[in-house]
Amino acid sequence: MKHLEIALKEYGKIDIPGNKSNPEVLKYFSEAGFGWVQDDDTAWCAAFLNWVLLRSGLQGSGSLLARSFLNIGFETKEPKLGDIAVFWRININSIFGHCGLYIAENEKGIFVLGGNEDGQVKIKAYPKWQLLAYRGLYEN
């Protein structure tokens, strides 16, 4: 799972609140095709996931909307390590969401490795009731 290895190597990268931006976070935008973004205050979970997939030779969504990953790969009800998890934010019908790489789950939460998890690349749990879908990836 090359994409998971790439994501894990970025663990701990953090955005910088305020006027400064972390060049490491800005590279996710620029190298994934969103070079017009010039600050790390812009939501970056989708930029990070696009960057990871592209770096590993997989197809990204080409969008900064987390929900765009609902169109990547194939839907699965039984996720495996490294699959994509897509969640809703604000309300289930909004355009807002969150995306990350599936790590594990328990009875209450789904653990994902992603960008912009509290402003950094890390593993964080999300409530199961906010899940929109798991997406399996076609690996090289």
Q: Give the DSSP per-residue string, 53-111.
A: HHHTT----SSS-GGGGGGSSEEESS--TT-EEEEE-SSTTSS-EEEEEEEEE-SSEEE
Overall domain count for the chain: 1
pTM for the full model?
0.95
- Is the pLDDT assigned to residue 140 strictly greater than 70? no
pLDDT-based confidence at residue 18 (cuts at 50, 70, 90): confident
Residues of the domain holding 108: 2-136
Write the CATH number for 100.
3.90.1720.10
What is the model's pLDDT at position 17?
Answer: 86
Each residue's pLDDT tens digit, 52-72: 999 999 999 999 999 999 999
By mean pLDDT, which of 53-57, 83-87, 125-129, 134-138 is the weakest? 134-138
